Chain A
Amino acid sequence: MRKIIVSLISLITLQASAQQADIQLPKGFAITNITKDKGRVRHIAVHSNGDVYLKLENLRYGKGILRLRDADKDGVYEDTLAFGNYIGTGIALHKNYLYASSNSAVFRYQLDAANNIVNPDQPERVVYGLVDRRQHASKSIAIDPKGNLYVNIGAPSNVCQERDRMQGSKGMMPCPILDSAGGIWKFRADKLEQSYAEGVRYATGLRNVVGLDWNTEVNELFVTVHGRDMLYQHFPELYDAKAGAELPAETFYMVKQGDNAGWPYVYWDPFQNKKILSPEYGGDGKKEGAPDAIKPLVGFPGHLAPNALLFYTGNQFPEKYRNGAFIAFHGSWNRNPQVQEGFYVVFVPMKNGQPTGDWEIFADGFTGKGKVSNPRDAMHRPCGLAMGPDGSLYVSDDAKGYVWKISYSAK
């Protein structure tokens, strides 16, 4: 009988492991899955009472936002509330409001004293009318302690060519897209019905920022940018397949008001440590450009798609993690004919807003099967990050709709 039970258990665990990716973490960290099969879970936010909010990119139960609640604190989120009739990526909490974005607007929902949403079906519209031309349309959001709302408006373009992504088509000079996209716009979190006119173009030359977070240690905005595609495909005489897979770097910047990061005129080459002129603008892989543009803090390998940024301000993790940055990489699609890379969560040790050491992979194994050549084959794709009130780290996945909680215990 004992034997039967044992073999039954091993059968069950075997089956579970066949469906579950085995996530690897540094020593002392443990991961638990808190929800699964919720579809394309993009960014996430955790409230001070432990409620977990998920922003979805496909409607689930006809809705685009889920709130998971574990009222009795037994680790099981028994209560799911679905609301919001729009898809999108951005979600954030600020004071007694929940903010969420569609691909063209930002909405907010008031929370009452019991942390319930006062009116889930009638959000207030904070910003409207933002550029949504399908490509790079997701609107990531962050709010600073003073109540400024930062919204990424991705460029609906690869590198501002006259004809997007067409081989041989020239880069437009100046790039007209930058007037309404390719940057971060600043609005007020407490003002309703703001259009572009009420916003300020806070930083420009940022092709598509998907991760952004306000760093409370230095009081500045930090962003992670998806770099351009097609260097090898469009300029095989300048870039071979390997260079095309590794260039340009995915970048991590501190951005101050008025900063320009150089897109589309330049890209960051992490090997030469230079801003290289885009070939669509006359570059040859060596010529530098945009002397006034800011430099990144870190250049990651090309095309890994940094989809979320979170500064760790909790007390649960060891000291080395404090004020450092976690970055969730969604994983590449355009490194072929090389295999795809990414699909992990990275940590950058930092102090006073500056990296203090090399970045390292913090959580890996999300593909469920090692390297993949098509991102479709990855079981999970990390997409959102949030910190819970106890200092745990939450990670979301927009391939299978999982959310995990990562905790540390010194033993």
Chain B
Amino acid sequence: MRKLIVVLSLLTVGIVSQSMQTPNAASITRGKALYAQYCMSCHQADGAGAPRMTPPLGKTDYVTGDKARLIGIVLKGLNEPLEVNGEEYFNPMASFAHMNDQQIADVLTYIRNSFGNKASAITPAEVKAQRAKIK
């Protein structure tokens, strides 16, 4: 019996996280509004960034690649020489640690599925896990 419960709960966890990996429309809609509020001033309405200042979010490995690295950028901010698609940018990015796990998951899911990107969703649990590592 004990064993069965473990197996069953493992299964449900599996199903839940599976379903959350495919970006859902509600998360993307919330993410779009959060993007306008928190990210657009620097990364621009079209996500293309600003020359010399802010890198683009479209077609970059930082956005569509490793989730932990992406979540880390938003939680910690970034101020080090970084080449994005062959160009360097000189402004710093602030930390957005004041956004909650759900908000960060939403905004990242949105940018991973906008500006020509297509990538799996980010879940609040993944953000929470990264946040715990930083503290």
Contacts and interface: CB of A to CB of B under 8 A. Distances in A.
A337 B51 contact: no
A167 B98 contact: yes
A165 interface: yes
Contacts of A373: 44-46
Interface majority SS on B: helix, strand, loop or mixed? loop
Contacts of B36: 337
B33 interface: no
B45 A337 contact: yes
B95 interface: yes
A376 B49 contact: yes
Main SS class of interface, A = loop
B91 A135 contact: yes
Contacts of A135: 79, 90-92
Contact of B40 (A40, A137, A336): A336
Nearest to B77: A166
B98 A168 contact: yes
A374 interface: yes
A165 B92 contact: yes
Nearest to B40: A336
In this complex, the member of A133, A164, A337 whose beta carbon has the largest number of chain B beta carbons within 10 angstroms is: A164
Interface residues of B, number: 28
Contacts of B50: 333, 374-376
Contacts of B34: none
A379 to B, nearest CB: 12
Contacts of A133: 79
B48 A376 contact: yes
Interface in B34-84: 36-38, 40-42, 44-46, 48-54, 77, 79, 81
Contacts of A137: 90
Nearest to B94: A165
B41 A375 contact: no
Interface residues of A, number: 27
Interface in A219-239: 229-230, 232-233
B77 A336 contact: no
A135 B38 CA distance: 20
A230 B42 CA distance: 10
B80 to A, nearest CB: 8
Contacts of A165: 77, 92-94
Contacts of B79: 133-135, 164
A334 interface: yes
B94 A333 contact: no
Contacts of B97: 166
A337 B37 CA distance: 10
Contacts of B51: 375-376, 381, 399
A198 B59 CA distance: 48
Contacts of B38: 167, 233
A147 B22 CA distance: 66
Given A134-B81, A337-B36, A376 B94 contact: no
Q: Which of B38, B81, B92 is packed against the most chain A CB atoms within 10 Å?
A: B92
Contact of B48 (A164, A168, A334, A374): A374
Contacts of A375: 50-51
Contacts of B95: 163, 166
A374 B54 contact: no
Contacts of A232: 41
A70 to B, nearest CB: 30
A399 B51 CA distance: 8
Given A137-B90, A166-B77, A168-B98, A336 B41 contact: yes
A230 B41 contact: yes
7 contacts: A134-B92, A163-B94, A164-B94, A165-B92, A167-B98, A233-B37, A373-B44
Given A165-B92, A337-B40, 16 more contacts: A134-B90, A134-B91, A135-B90, A163-B77, A165-B77, A165-B94, A166-B94, A167-B94, A167-B98, A230-B41, A233-B37, A333-B53, A334-B41, A334-B42, A336-B40, A336-B44
Interface of B: 36-38, 40-42, 44-46, 48-54, 77, 79, 81, 90-98
Interface of A: 40, 57, 133-135, 137, 163-168, 229-230, 232-233, 333-334, 336-337, 373-376, 381, 398-399
Closest 3 CB pairs of A and B: A165-B94, A333-B50, A166-B94
